[in-house]
Amino acid sequence: MGLFKDAETFDTMLGGFFLRVAETPEVADKLLDSKLTIRFIYSDPEVVLFIDCSGDRVEVRSGDTDTKAEVEMTMSADIAHKFWFGKVNLTAALTRGQMKAKGPVPKILKLLPAIKPTYTMYPAYLEEKGYGEYNIY
Amino acid sequence: MNGYAGTILRVDLTNGKLKEDKLDPSFARQYIGGVGFVVRMYLDELAGKTDIDPLGPDNPFVLMTGPLTGQKLDGAARWVCGSRSPLTGVWADCNVGGFFGAYLKFAGYDGIVITGASRTPVLLRIEEGTARLEDASRYWGMDTYETSDALAEESRGGGRGKDRVFTIGPAGENLVRFASIVNDKGHLAGRAGLGAVWGAKKLKAITAFGSGKPDIAHPERLSALKGELKEAYESSIYIDAIHSFGTATYMDVGVIGGDIPMKNWKLSEWEGFDDLGPLVYEEKLLAGRKTCYGCSVACKREAEVLQGPYAFPKGPGPEYETLASFGTLCLNRDIEAVGKANDLCNRYGMDTISLGATVAFSMECFEAGFLSLEDTGGIDLSWGNADALVKLVDQTGKREGFGRRLAEGSLRLSGELGEETRQFLTTVKGLEAPMHDPRCYHSFALAYATSSRGACHTQSPVFPVESGGLYFPDIPGLAGESEGMDSHGKAALVALCQDFGAFFTGSAVFCNLGASPVTALQAVEAVNAVTGFDYTLDEVIQLGRRIWYLQRSLSCVFGASGADDALPARLLSPLEEGPSAGSVPDMELMLKEYYTLRDFDPQGRPSPEVLKELGLSDVISLIQP
């Protein structure tokens, strides 16, 4: 049993955070430069979030399993949650199979420095939106 | 002899005599190859002499391939050489990639033991089971690229491939204390100054060519293993990343955890970092891709800059360590200047880590007033001065101007500048730390402190295991998750990495990067399939343990003590900002646990009991008073 009781909570919480990131120019501009489309497939609970950076603004779509994505990342909701605190060793998670990726992974790695500011945004967002119980780090 | 050429070449440079010894199969089984052969043969060659000058004729130099060198197997092209270091004064072994090792074996030799010193420049030519010394006066003074091209060109014709060249450049000839030996221009025995050992011996180069292939005991098992590994390689994201961007990809990954040192280890975040990443590399430097023998990973980059102040022709490009040491460490955001400095280091034959760290040390001394423009010959050593960096690299290789002082390394330079400059040093046992910060992975701190050659990220696989590049689910002590910024439990992790690593990357000899998808059991199977031996995983860890104790003992023989198992103050000073802010490795805790596990006395010497248990009784009298 993971940290999250139901899909709705995780979907709203992380989806909302992605929308916050999409509205943060410091990060969003670099995401748009990449023109990537990424599908995050989460388990325990099962949630799908689609991030579309191919247009002139970053779009976040919940449950989009149809649109073709350049990259697909698969992981548990707990690992995803830990990642946005900056607490996941990405190389180890990928090597150990805790995260799986399909597509041009180097393009994802290139985004890592760009998303670094989000690690401090995430706990602040959780507190602000009433998800303080999940602010575990 | 399956997996081995079966012959060791012995070269006495003092009298010019060459001799061949048959490789004893029982010796091969006990010491496997690579660093196992190197340390055992070096120790035997010393014959009890311990007070030897690293730059004198009594210091042997040993170069050995492993049982897999020359096999068409990903991440297995490597080989090892070792000697007493003129930089640190203690034992140094270097793990090298490229093609030279494979072709040495194809020529009929598992390795070479070199003793004595020549009075005039010589080169050793090895071809199809024959070896001879030749006058090398006409190559002396050439850089490594010129030497490699000239020797390779001479060997062309007759329908055979070119000679593979392992050579020193002007830095080795000038006895720069961190001079390297360079294989095919871009594969270096990089650290701790083995190039100066050759320079002192007046050995300019060794060439190798051969067409013989060692027998394989169980080709069908090796083929099955390759099939199994093919799938693992195809699905490995790590391999995908280093294939696509080379080791430069670590600039993006390492910065997340705060692993990249900046401004002589005073920062782990700096806005100029973005200008040194893999994207900018691709845009401004990338000119092609290369690989080592038999390896499809192809993580090596070719680089060039066509015009401008840092123009250089196409050649091996900078690795991550160089991007950091000439880039972030000196706050130099000009990647073309890094490329130029790397090109000069390859040509002169110099270690980019030690030189970058020595320049960064000098920049801090300059800022603090311990060095003046008068001292530097008018060179402004302000942080980020790319022109100064490139000029100093050139001066150091030639031992000219202020470069004469840099050529001695940062520890000796600090000795000249005064006690107060010690606070800026980043050396362990005299070797400048590589570009991985022990404040974000505490295990690195212990690995640096206890490495027999000084601060090193490659002598054992602690770095790739802890940072995630290597994963061995079949070794229980390495399969669990580890919290980087925690010192608890790290002694056992480091000791196990060192023991298994002495087999895996040391003796087998697998690559820390290119063999990322290989499990421990697959590594053992590869060696068994090739050699016909019947090693178990437990046995290779035990054999690795013995080899590791030999490395440790050699450094003790050369005077290293418990006091040298320490990190400099700079690496133990907490950072104020960044992912590892406030984190400091607990050296007292880790060393206490480690010394107990290793059965060391307070002087850092292995106890007679543990050496006896490992079958190393002959070493006891060398290290005990």
For residue B158, what pLDDT band results from cuts at 50, 70 and 90?
low
Tell me which residue range forms the domain holding A111: 7-130
- Cβ–Cβ under 8 Å, residues B433 and B264: no
Question: Structurally, how many domains does chain A consist of?
Answer: 1
Residues 6+ apart with CB under 8 A from B365: B371, B381, B417, B421, B424
Contact A105 B256 (CB under 8 A): no
Q: What is the pLDDT of residues B173-215, one digit of tens each?
A: 999 999 999 999 999 999 999 999 999 999 999 999 999 999 9
Contact B241 A112 (CB under 8 A): no
Predicted structure pTM score: 0.94
Running along chain A, 137 residues long, what does each successive block of 10 average in pLDDT?
A: 90 96 94 93 96 95 94 94 89 87 78 85 95 89
Contact A95 B245 (CB under 8 A): no
Residue A115 resides in a domain:
yes
Comparing CB atoms, the residue among A91, A104, A113 nearest residue B274 is A113
- Cβ–Cβ under 8 Å, residues B270 and B296: no
Mean pLDDT of B64-72: 98
For residue B389, what pLDDT band results from cuts at 50, 70 and 90?
very high
Q: Which two tokens stand for residue B590?
A: 């880790």
Contacts of B273 in chain A (CB under 8 A): 113
Alpha carbon distance B494, B492 (integer Å): 6
Contact B240 A86 (CB under 8 A): no
Contacts of A89 in chain B (CB under 8 A): 257, 467-468, 484
In a mutational test of the A interface, the residue from B256, B463, B580 whose CB has the highest number of chain A CBs within 10 Å is B256
Instruction: State the angle between helix axes of A105-115 and A25-34 in degrees (0 to 180), rounded to the nearest 10.
Output: 160
Contact B273 A113 (CB under 8 A): yes
Contacts of B255 in chain A (CB under 8 A): 112-113, 116
Q: What is the pLDDT of residues B545-582, one digit of tens each?
A: 999 999 999 999 999 999 999 999 999 999 999 889 99
- Cβ–Cβ under 8 Å, residues B167 and B180: no
| CA-closest candidate to residue B219, choices B540, B536, B537, B528 | B528
CA A16 to chain B, closest CA, distance in angstroms equals 23
- Cβ–Cβ under 8 Å, residues B435 and B214: no
| DSSP letter string, B95-116 | EE-SSHHHHHHHTT-SEEEEES
Alpha carbon distance B140, B203 (integer Å): 9
Q: What is the pLDDT of residues B244-273, one digit of tens each?
A: 889 999 998 898 889 999 999 999 999 998
Alpha carbon distance A47, B161 (integer Å): 57
Residue A1 resides in a domain:
no
The 3-class SS string of B506-537 reads HHCCCCCCCCCCCCHHHHHHHHHHHHCCCCCH
- Collapsing DSSP to helix, strand or coil, B217 comes out as coil
Residue A2 resides in a domain:
no
Alpha carbon distance B407, B393 (integer Å): 9
According to DSSP, the β-strands at B187-189 and B300-305 are unpaired
- Cβ–Cβ under 8 Å, residues B194 and B61: yes
Alpha carbon distance A47, A58 (integer Å): 19
The identity of residue B314, as a single letter, is: K
Provide the CA B112 distance to its chain's centre, in angstroms.
18
Contacts of B256 in chain A (CB under 8 A): 86, 90, 112-113, 116
The A residues from 58 to 117 touching B (CB cutoff 8 Å) are 86, 89-96, 101, 104-106, 109-110, 112-113, 116
Identify residues of B whose CB sits under 8 angstroms from chain A CBs: 236-238, 240-241, 244-245, 249, 252-253, 255-257, 273-274, 277-279, 467-471, 473, 481, 484, 516, 579
**Which residue does chain A place closest to B578, by CA atoms?**
A116
| CA-closest candidate to residue B218, choices B521, B525, B529 | B529
Residue A34 resides in a domain:
yes
- Cβ–Cβ under 8 Å, residues B124 and B205: yes
Please name the helix (run of DSSP H) or strand (run of DSSP E) that holds residue B11, with its range, or none: strand B7-12
Contact A92 B252 (CB under 8 A): no
The half-sphere exposure of B469 on its side-chain side, counting CA atoms within 13 A, is 21
Q: Check which CATH number belongs to the domain holding A112 and give it.
A: 3.30.1050.10
Alpha carbon distance B510, B77 (integer Å): 7
Provide ipTM, 2 decimals.
Answer: 0.78
Q: What is the number of residues in chain B?
A: 625
Q: What is the pLDDT of residues B453-465, one digit of tens each?
A: 999 999 899 999 9
Contacts of B467 in chain A (CB under 8 A): 89, 91-92
| Rg, chain B, Cα only | 22
Q: Which two tokens stand for residue B417?
A: 């500048």
Strand partners, A38: A51, A71
**Which residue does chain B place closest to A34, by CA atoms?**
B279
**Which residue does chain B place closest to A115, by CA atoms?**
B256
Contacts of A90 in chain B (CB under 8 A): 253, 256, 468
Burial of B369 (0-12, 13-18, 19+ CB in 10 A): exposed
Contact B470 A95 (CB under 8 A): yes
Please name the helix (run of DSSP H) or strand (run of DSSP E) that holds residue B558, with its range, or none: none
Alpha carbon distance B151, B162 (integer Å): 9
CA A103 to chain B, closest CA, distance in angstroms equals 10
Give the count of beta carbons closer than 10 Å to the beta carbon of residue B254.
24
Residue A135 resides in a domain:
no
Residue appearing with tokens 């000084």 = B454
Alpha carbon distance B245, B97 (integer Å): 18
Q: How far is CA B565 from CA B410, B466, B486, B556, B568, in A?
A: 18, 20, 19, 11, 10
Residue appearing with tokens 């700079």 = B570
- Cβ–Cβ under 8 Å, residues B220 and B214: no
Dihedral over Cα of B188, B192, B194, B195: its sign: positive
Q: What is the pLDDT of residues B98-157, one digit of tens each?
A: 999 999 999 999 999 999 999 999 999 999 999 999 999 999 999 999 999 999 988 876
Q: Report cis status (omega within 30 of 0) of the bond before A45.
A: yes
**How many interchain CB pairs under 8 A, A with B?**
66
Contact A96 B467 (CB under 8 A): no
Comparing CB atoms, the residue among A86, A90, A104 nearest residue B579 is A86
pLDDT at B538 over 70: yes
Comparing CB atoms, the residue among A95, A110, A112 nearest residue B468 is A95
Q: Which two tokens stand for residue B531?
A: 């050699």
Q: What's the DSSP call for residue B570? A: G
Alpha carbon distance B124, B248 (integer Å): 35
| CA-closest candidate to residue A122, choices A29, A13, A34 | A13
Mean pLDDT of B389-404: 98
- Cβ–Cβ under 8 Å, residues B433 and B357: yes
Q: How far is CA B248 from CA B285, B299, B345, in A?
A: 12, 10, 18
Let me know the angle formed at the C-alpha of B102 by B180 and B512, rounded to the nearest 5 degrees: 65
CA A86 to chain B, closest CA, distance in angstroms equals 8
Q: What is the pLDDT of residues B225-244, one digit of tens each?
A: 999 999 999 888 889 889 98
Q: What is the pLDDT of residues B53-67, one digit of tens each?
A: 999 999 999 999 999
In whole numbers, what is the pLDDT of chain B averaged over residues? Answer: 96
- Cβ–Cβ under 8 Å, residues B293 and B75: no
According to DSSP, the β-strands at A37-43 and A71-76 are parallel
- Collapsing DSSP to helix, strand or coil, B501 comes out as helix
Contact A89 B468 (CB under 8 A): yes
Q: What is the pLDDT of residues B12-48, one digit of tens each?
A: 999 999 999 999 999 999 999 999 999 999 999 999 8
pLDDT at site B320: 97
Residue A57 resides in a domain:
yes
The half-sphere exposure of B524 on its side-chain side, counting CA atoms within 13 A, is 18
Q: Which two tokens stand for residue B70?
A: 């020359």
Alpha carbon distance B531, B33 (integer Å): 11
| CA-closest candidate to residue B279, choices B314, B312, B248 | B248
Comparing CB atoms, the residue among B240, B257, B468 nearest residue A106 is B240
Contact A90 B273 (CB under 8 A): no
In a mutational test of the B interface, the residue from A109, A115, A118 whose CB has the highest number of chain B CBs within 10 Å is A109
Comparing CB atoms, the residue among A96, A104, A112 nearest residue B253 is A112
Contact A113 B240 (CB under 8 A): no
pLDDT at site B93: 98
Residue A100 resides in a domain:
yes
A1 near B CB under 8 A: no
Contacts of A104 in chain B (CB under 8 A): 244
Comparing CB atoms, the residue among A91, A101, A104 nearest residue B253 is A91
Please name the helix (run of DSSP H) or strand (run of DSSP E) that holds residue B609, with its range, or none: helix B608-613
Q: What is the pLDDT of residues B404-429, one digit of tens each?
A: 999 999 999 999 999 999 999 999 99
Alpha carbon distance B388, B393 (integer Å): 9
| CA-closest candidate to residue B191, choices B514, B451, B560 | B451
Q: What is the pLDDT of residues B483-510, one digit of tens each?
A: 899 999 999 999 999 999 999 999 999 9
- Cβ–Cβ under 8 Å, residues B470 and B523: no
Residue A61 resides in a domain:
yes
Q: Helical H runs in B156-211?
A: 170-173, 194-201
Comparing CB atoms, the residue among B244, B253, B274 nearest residue A90 is B253
Q: What is the number of residues in chain A?
A: 137
